[in-house]
Amino acid sequence: MSPRTQKTKANKMPFDFNVVILAGGSGTRFWPLSRQKRPKQFLKIIKDRTLIEETFRRVQGIVPSAQVYTVAVAQQSKIIRRLLPKVPAKNLLGEPEARNTAASLILASASIYLKNKEAVLAVLPADHYISDVARFREKLVAAATAAYQLKKIVLFGIPPVSPATGYGYIHCPGKMLAEIGGETFFEVEGFREKPDLPTALEFLQSGEYYWNSGIFLWRADVFEESLREFAPELFSAWMKILRFLRNKDRRELGKVFREIPALSIDYALIEKVSGALMARGDFGWSDLGSWSSLHEYLPQDDNCNAVSGKFVGLETNNCLVFSPRKLTALIGVRDLIVVNTDDALLICHRDQDQLVKELVEKLKEKEPRYT
Amino acid sequence: MSPRTQKTKANKMPFDFNVVILAGGSGTRFWPLSRQKRPKQFLKIIKDRTLIEETFRRVQGIVPSAQVYTVAVAQQSKIIRRLLPKVPAKNLLGEPEARNTAASLILASASIYLKNKEAVLAVLPADHYISDVARFREKLVAAATAAYQLKKIVLFGIPPVSPATGYGYIHCPGKMLAEIGGETFFEVEGFREKPDLPTALEFLQSGEYYWNSGIFLWRADVFEESLREFAPELFSAWMKILRFLRNKDRRELGKVFREIPALSIDYALIEKVSGALMARGDFGWSDLGSWSSLHEYLPQDDNCNAVSGKFVGLETNNCLVFSPRKLTALIGVRDLIVVNTDDALLICHRDQDQLVKELVEKLKEKEPRYT
């Protein structure tokens, strides 16, 4: 389906559809490319555009730019404004400090609630990758319609392709609740924290578990009701945020914000809600959680080397090379991740890239200027 | 023995002792540090000084600076002058073009011959490393004395520590010919080209074979006689070079030089001579033939990583890192050679560093500006 078709469809949608891009992440797993002041969503990792730009472009034609919002700490507004010039400045919601996604989404949902209580918002992390964009767009529109019509929180669950231990899982045995816009919506049975490997293997084999993608949709009024019913300790914060947004006193926002428990929206709300719906997120999703996760999305040479930059290899297989400015020559190596930036070089075995985080912690002590 | 003691001894030596530093090499095996215009002898590989400076300092106190000569293509005179300011400019023998070591040593020996036919010269490659300098100095003085007194070509044979296939071997079953200056000199039985691995293993086990170090000593007149007797096709070049040196016509040198067969002195003369002598070169010699050969000469951390530059490692062993300007972070790797220069990065398994040469050939076609 072409963007133009989508646009026509979107314009006909009988409800107010908004997108909230969660742009506040501060990942260290793409060090040395990512730094404290340049987190992953602002990097050009796979394409010529940054991940946040890709996220925005993915919904163009479905949602008018005036209905796209971003949430991030206020210091990042400048870079977001530069990367997403089509998004109105007033839609760049600036947080007084980073307090995890529950606070971000209370702020975003409240902002949209004041515009239209029945508006639907789709929450999209700014730093994910989706390879089948056309399919994603179709499914997103269907999910928004379901969220609007059924007045439920809707999630995308990713059919697992490995026994990953780094994700939360959605338990969804396959109880169909509705078919809307060609998409099936299932009842969510429950949520499971990041499992150990044997449990993850069971999940994978059962076919009843899905990775929690962090992509959610809800109506603003449904969000309010859910907070009231399932997360009362956040509901008072919601009321205060609404009051602040009506009064526009920034100092007050700082005070209210600091009172919100610094929790993820999953933990604080989603996992407590009864009656959430799930759709299958089979659109080539990746949260790009580590360097090695990139490999399959990059073009590869005959020896399965995925390379960005000038490269010569001898007897070298299955390496991932990121070196925009310098020649890289590899001899007799395999399964390496090589990232060469202006001031630092990382060489990491691809099976060990979960240690990049630990490395950055070590650097914070030893060589903080590189973090 | 301190340099001072050596100096006294040297001053008392009853013959004219000269050193010729062979500075014309153009190795590619230390790419990307070494380049066409910056060969290995001009690199600071192990110490804070370049290898040619180290070579010069190694003989200071034994041989006066006025008796140190260098041979290299004329274009390199400028850098040699800068690195060895104590060597008189007239001693920097400039070759019209690189024509291997036979031509270099005809030029050097002839220059010294015209000063004093009985002068001894010690030929030292500019790009080797010697860890036990005191022992080397003692042995060099003894070998010079033997070369002077016995009127023989004297070589240093390195007791092999591995079945190396990259060296020529000296066959020396241990027939002692003389004891001079505390050093034993043996008769050379013959020479063997670079062997295959089974042969190298036999050589190692027999105890009768030594690596040819490329360190030679001879009297100028003995060199002349050897050429006349064993390498007549070079003898006419020798005569022409002598004539040129008396007349000082640089254009003529170019013509004569181009007529000299481009052979190594080993192949053209040394291996043909009968009656050469060998002393044991047990002074921690290395020709630094590849990156991996450096490992044992560099300081290492607890995980056997030899590092030059800022470094952080996790689960990383036995790596060699050369990165003077950038931070290097290694995770989960072992046995890697990592060399990070201003414009190029090499990562090479240490068992495969003989492929660096092939890589440079590939680059000459593909990316010549990096060679």
* pLDDT score, position B324: 87
Read off the DSSP letter of residue A88. Answer: -
d(CA A353, CA B235): 64
* pLDDT score, position B1: 42
For A326, the closest of B329, B331, B343 (CB atoms) is B343
CA distances (Å), origin B304, targets A61, A366, B294: 57, 20, 13
Which of B286, B308, B327 is the last residue in one of the domains? B286
- Quick one: which of B215, B137, B152, B219 has its CA closest to B185? B152
Residues A281 and A298 in one domain: no
Split into its structural domains, chain A has a count of 2
For A125, list phi and psi in degrees, rounded to 5.
-60, 140
* Residue A348, min C-alpha distance to chain B (Å): 4
Query: Chain B contacts of A345, Cβ < 8 Å?
Result: 323, 326-329, 338, 340, 345
Read off the DSSP letter of residue B49. Answer: S
For B333, the closest of A31, A336, A362 (CB atoms) is A336
Between β-strands A129-130 and A120-125, what pairing exists: parallel, antiparallel or unpaired? Answer: unpaired
Which of A286, A318, A336 is the last residue in one of the domains? A286
* Residue A50, min C-alpha distance to chain B (Å): 25
* pLDDT score, position B10: 47
- Quick one: which of B269, B365, B363 has its CA closest to B35? B363
Residues A158 and A219 in one domain: yes
**Mean pLDDT, chain A, whole residue set:** 93
d(CA A229, CA A274): 10
d(CA A261, CA A237): 9
For A355, the closest of B331, B345, B359 (CB atoms) is B331
Q: Locate all alpha helices (DSSP H) within B47-169, ordered by sequence.
A: 51-59, 77-83, 100-115, 133-150
Query: Which residues, given as ranges, of chain B have pLDDT below 70?
Result: 1-12, 250
* Residue A11, min C-alpha distance to chain B (Å): 51
A361 touches B at CB < 8 Å: no
Above 0.85 for ipTM, yes or no? no
Q: What is the mean pLDDT of each run of 10 residues along chain A (371 residues)?
A: 44 86 87 91 90 97 97 95 97 94 97 97 97 97 98 98 94 96 96 96 97 97 98 94 85 86 94 96 94 88 94 97 95 98 96 93 93 92
Query: What are the structure tokens assigned to A82, written together?
Result: 């530069």
> Could you tell me if A318 and A350 are in contact, meaning their C-beta atoms sit under 8 angstroms apart?
yes
Residues A340 and A216 in one domain: no
Query: Chain B contacts of A310, Cβ < 8 Å?
Result: 367
Which residues neighbour A178 within 8 Å (Cβ) at sequence distance 6 or greater?
Answer: A146, A150, A184, A185, A277
Considering just the CA atoms, what is the radius of gyration of chain A in Å?
A: 21
* pLDDT score, position B12: 62
* pLDDT score, position A299: 87
* pLDDT score, position A298: 86
pLDDT digits (tens, 9 = 90+) for B325-339: 999 999 999 999 999
* pLDDT score, position A12: 62
* Residue A79, min C-alpha distance to chain B (Å): 27
Residues 310-349 of A with CB under 8 A from B: 310, 312, 314-315, 323, 326-333, 336, 338, 340, 343-349
Query: What are the structure tokens assigned to A71, written together?
Result: 């949430």
CATH number for the domain that contains residue A165: 3.90.550.10
Which of A261, A286, A311 is the last residue in one of the domains? A286
pLDDT digits (tens, 9 = 90+) for A169-195: 999 999 999 999 999 999 999 999 999
Note whether A367 contacts B310, CB cutoff 8 Å: yes
Length of chain B: 371
- Quick one: which of A128, A44, A43, A45 has its CA closest to A295? A45
* Long-range contacts from A92-100, C-beta under 8 angstroms, 24+ separation: A93/A69, A95/A24, A95/A71, A95/A257, A96/A250, A96/A253, A96/A254, A96/A257, A96/A258, A97/A73, A97/A254, A97/A257, A97/A258, A98/A24, A98/A26, A98/A73, A99/A257, A99/A258, A99/A260, A99/A262, A100/A262, A100/A263, A100/A264, A100/A265
Residues B16 and B165 in one domain: yes
Residues B259 and B330 in one domain: no
User: What is the C-alpha end-to-end distance of chain A, expressed in Å?
Assistant: 42
For A327, the closest of B331, B345, B353 (CB atoms) is B345
d(CA A143, CA A19): 12
Tokens 């002349």 belong to which residue? Answer: B224
Note whether A363 contacts B329, CB cutoff 8 Å: yes
Residues B102 and B187 in one domain: yes
d(CA A38, CA B187): 69
Residues B171 and B299 in one domain: no
Residues A226 and A143 in one domain: yes
Residues A264 and A330 in one domain: no
Instruction: State which residues form the domain around B10.
Output: 3-286
> Could you tell me if B338 and B326 are in contact, meaning their C-beta atoms sit under 8 angstroms apart?
no
Helix or strand run (H / E) with residue A22: strand A17-22
d(CA A126, CA A20): 9
Residues B153 and B17 in one domain: yes
For B347, the closest of A338, A352, A356 (CB atoms) is A338
Residues A315 and A257 in one domain: no
Residues B169 and B47 in one domain: yes
> Could you tell me if A354 and B315 are in contact, meaning their C-beta atoms sit under 8 angstroms apart?
no
pLDDT digits (tens, 9 = 90+) for A251-300: 788 888 988 999 999 999 999 999 999 999 999 999 998 899 888 888 89
> Could you tell me if B326 and A329 are in contact, meaning their C-beta atoms sit under 8 angstroms apart?
no
Query: Chain A contacts of B344, Cβ < 8 Å?
Result: 326-329
Measured CA angle at B13 (ends B7, B14), to 5 deg: 160
Helix or strand run (H / E) with residue A201: helix A197-206
